[in-house]
Every structure is written in structure tokens, then in C-alpha cells.
Amino acid sequence: MSDCCESQSISSYDLAVIGAGSAGFSAAITAAEEGAQVALIDHGTIGGTCVNVGCVPSKTLIRAAETLHGANAANRFDGITASARVTDWRAVVSQKQALVEDLRQAKYADLLPAYNSIAYLEGEAMFSDDGTLMVSGTVIGADKIIIATGARPALPSIEGIREVPYLTSTTALELESLPETLLVIGAGYIGAEIAQIFARAGVKVTIVSRRGLLPEAEPEISEALTRFFEDEGIEVVSGIAYDRIDASAGAVTLTVRDHGAERRISAEKVLVATGRAPNTERLNLPAAGIELSGNKGVRVDAQMRSTRDGVYAAGDVTGRDQFVYMAAHGAKIAARNALNGNSLSYDNAAMPAVVFTDPQLASVGLTEAKARAQGIDARSSVLTLDNVPRALAARDTRGLIKLVADARTKKLLGAHILAPEGADSIQTAAMAIKAGMTYEDLGATIFPYLTTVEGLKLAAQTFDMDVKKLSCCAG
């Protein structure tokens, strides 16, 4: 840790922020810019999940694996042959780690000297039963407090799981040598992303889950992505019940019930990717009158207030919207409300989300099922990528676009894109939903030709017409 991050003398603060990750820094900087004296409290490695063990390392290795796939898929163009292979995985991981360390220093540790009103206090924070905040046993005087302690990989309730040498999303991205085989337990976004990294690097990968790949996504998208994974040699096993897991002779074996029959699945390494658990246990929250929600996250209202007056929470520790940009967004609201009177509300109605598989899954708003569950008479359009000129030119039509709208008002409610460049298109849909546009509005908007985002226009037109009958740019 640099000198800027050494513990400073304890005094009284306008705001204390527990946790120095993305949410914590966002809250501290927001408060400092409004003239507050802030204590930023943390122990361990500064920077939190995203830069250290989440977004930065995973997306770096995803990009590395994409180069392998891109070269090996070059023969989709006539007259072109290319190939790529891993020659030194340790070097790939070392380069990734160097970027992590550079960004941690530049975006976290080196920022602190620019804010004279932020004191970095290194130590473990907890609440006393009367709500007093302490750091390593020393009382901290703070008018308001924000909890931003993040989350960690969660373990599923599988017999034997604590006795086997399992990987988490953190340790899997630190492996310096590739296993021959990998078993991934859990098929959410973390499991899906990491499974594809290792498969493209040459590892034989099997994914197992109760509900299938990306179960919260639109079913058309989950089914399509499952096919694409299987085309890359990834085995996807779903509809199973976990029985037990054992380790012996250099392998880990998971026993499941597959449609009533016992099945044993073995691999050299096993990755547990069954979600993340909020970091709340060591804070003594219930005793201090701070309630937890069903997923053990800090219960907050729309103003980011906990159930104890003067205490707020933001980011992954709340157990919702576990994306770094939503952590920062919620933390800004918490800081401003703590200092200025609770006038701001957290709104995730137009929150874009991306799963960095290939093709990428990008979504915003409601799925068709969630819209119907809210009592909305929803209708949808589904456009496969073989109707999008950009995909045809790239000779890569893996994917689809699904839009969800209110059948009565035609107002857009949700957009879901599965496409190689889907992540770069979702913000257009987010802005359309934020603006209250109808699918007719979106279909009448001018889009540039031969772009992936043009697929949104075509998907909007698909509600009322067959876009196969349009000439290029005729819409």
C-alpha cells in the first residue's frame, strides 16, 4: 500500500464509508465533492471486486480467448485459413495481473491524495449493539454511515463441497496452468463466461446446473446460447439435482440425479459458480438493528437507507443489481441522500446488463415472463441475426434480438440481444425505454446501415411486418 493509504488519526467525520471498492470510492468521492469530511474504511486489498477479481481480470481473459476463437473461425470466409493456440498460459495470466495492479493503483490508491477531505482508515469495521461504529476496536465518530462491503463467491449446499479442492471465480482466473478438464457448477453469467474462456483455451469443459444456461434470460436466448456452447464442445447438463461431491486420485467427481438416474461427472478441476454472498457477517448488523433481506444482503429502501436511522448501504452488499456501475450509481445516491436529506431514489428500470459470452447477451428492462407476471398484456418480436445485414457480412449469424412491449400502448418494456457485438447495442435500447418510446418510434428511427444496432430497428419493425420483404435500408 502506498503512503497515501496509511491509517490516519481517528476523529469525527460527516460520513463514514465501510468498504473501499467501487461503491465505497463512489460514495466517498461524491461526499468529498460536496464538502464533507469522509472516513473511508477498509482492510485487505484496496479496490474491491471489479478491478481485483471480477470485471477486469475476467474480461481480459475473455478477450484473450476470443483471439483463439477468432483465428480458428476464420475459415467461415472462403480463401482464408488461420489458427491460434495457447503457448504459455502463465504469461497470459501474468499480463492480466499486471493490468489489474496498474488499474488498482491508478483508479484507487492514487486517487486518494487528490481528496484532502477523505481519510483512509485501514482496519476491520463493525457496529456495536447501540449502533456505534468501530474500526479495529476504536470508536469512529460519524454523523452518517454507508455500508459498501461488497460480496464474495457463495457455496452451494452440496454434500462434501467444503472437503474438495474447488475453484471460485477468483482462483480460477489465477490458475497459471490449464487443466485437462473442468467441471463448472452453476450456469449463471459467471459460470458461463469462465467456462467459455477455458473451453477456448483448449480445456474440456462441462457445465452443470438445475435450471439450464442463464436461466433468468429469455428462453429463446438461453436455448440458442446452449447450442452455440455445444458447438464449441462445451457440454451443458441441466435439469439435475445435486447429490454429493468427492475428490480422489487427482479428480473431483460430482454425483447428480439426472431425470431420476444417478450420474457421476468427473474432472481434474471443479469451479463453483453458484452466485455471490453479501459480506455482512462480521459487521454485527442484526444486533445493531440493521435488517438483512432474504439473500443476507442489507435491506435498503429506494433512498438506500437501511433499517437503522443514519445508516445506508450500496453495491453488492445489498444483494441486488450486482454490477459495478450500479454499485457506483447506488453509492452516489446514498452519499447525496445521507448529506442532503433523502430526496433521491434508486431506479433500475432501464438498467442495461451484459454477459460477456460470445455471442454476448445484453439486456435491459423486462423479460416477457416478468411483464406478464406484473399483469401486463405483453407481446414480443423475435428477430434472428440472419435478418441483420451486419451479421451476414460478418458471416456470423449466431444470435437473435427479442423485444418486449405493452400490447395496448406499444410502449417498449424490454430488449434482449444475443449477438457477437450485442454489448455495444444495448444502450440504445436502454435510452429508448428510459424515454418511453414505443416500438413504432424505435422502428421509425434512423439507424446506420451494416451495424449490429440496426437490428433493434428491424426487431421493432418485426412486430407488424415481415422484414424479409424489405430491401436494404428500405425501412
Task: Establish whether 66 is an annotated binding residue.
Answer: no
Task: Establish whether 186 is an annotated binding residue.
Answer: yes
Task: Establish whether 115 is an annotated binding residue.
Answer: no
Task: Give the residue from 393, 370, 282, 374 showing the smallest Cα distance to 43.
Answer: 282
Task: Establish whether 193 is an annotated binding residue.
Answer: yes
Given phi > 0 = left and psi -120 to 50 = alpha, else beta, which region is 44?
Answer: left
- 35 secondary structure, DSSP code: T
- 370 secondary structure, DSSP code: H
- Give the separation between CA 85 and CA 69, rounded to whole angstroms: 9
Q: How far is CA 195 from CA 144, 213, 236, 242, in A?
A: 42, 11, 10, 19
Task: Give the residue from 49, 37, 23 showing the smallest Cα distance to 120.
Answer: 37
For residue 26, what is its C-alpha cell?
Answer: 463512489
Assess contact for 17 and 312: CB atoms under 8 A. Answer: no
For residue 36, what is its C-alpha cell?
Answer: 464533507
User: Which residues partner with 86 through β-bridges?
Assistant: none
3-state secondary structure of 298: strand
Residues 6+ apart with CB under 8 A from 281: none
Q: Phi/psi at 87 (nearest 5 deg)?
A: -105, -25
Assess contact for 107 and 47: CB atoms under 8 A. Answer: yes
Task: Establish whether 301 is an annotated binding residue.
Answer: no
| Residue 207 CB neighbours (<10 A) | 27
Task: Establish whether 188 is an annotated binding residue.
Answer: yes
- Give the separation between CA 50 and CA 60, rounded to whole angstroms: 12
Task: Establish whether 122 is an annotated binding residue.
Answer: no
Q: How far is CA 41 from CA 119, 145, 187, 304, 455, in A?
A: 8, 11, 34, 19, 46
- For 139, the enclosing helix (H) or strand (E) is strand 138-147
Burial group, residue 329, by CB count within 10 angstroms (0-12, 13-18, 19+): buried
Task: Establish whether 150 is an annotated binding residue.
Answer: no
- Give the separation between CA 217 and CA 182, rounded to whole angstroms: 24
Task: Establish whether 192 is an annotated binding residue.
Answer: yes
Identity of the amino acid at 315 = G
For residue 464, what is its C-alpha cell?
Answer: 407488424
- Give the separation between CA 256 and CA 160, rounded to whole angstroms: 13
Task: Establish whether 59 is an annotated binding residue.
Answer: yes
- Give the separation between CA 415 and CA 218, rounded to whole angstroms: 10
For residue 230, what is its C-alpha cell?
Answer: 455445444
Binding-site residue numbers are: 59, 186-193, 275, 316
Binding-site residue numbers for FAD are: 59, 316
Binding-site residue numbers for NAD(+) are: 186-193, 275
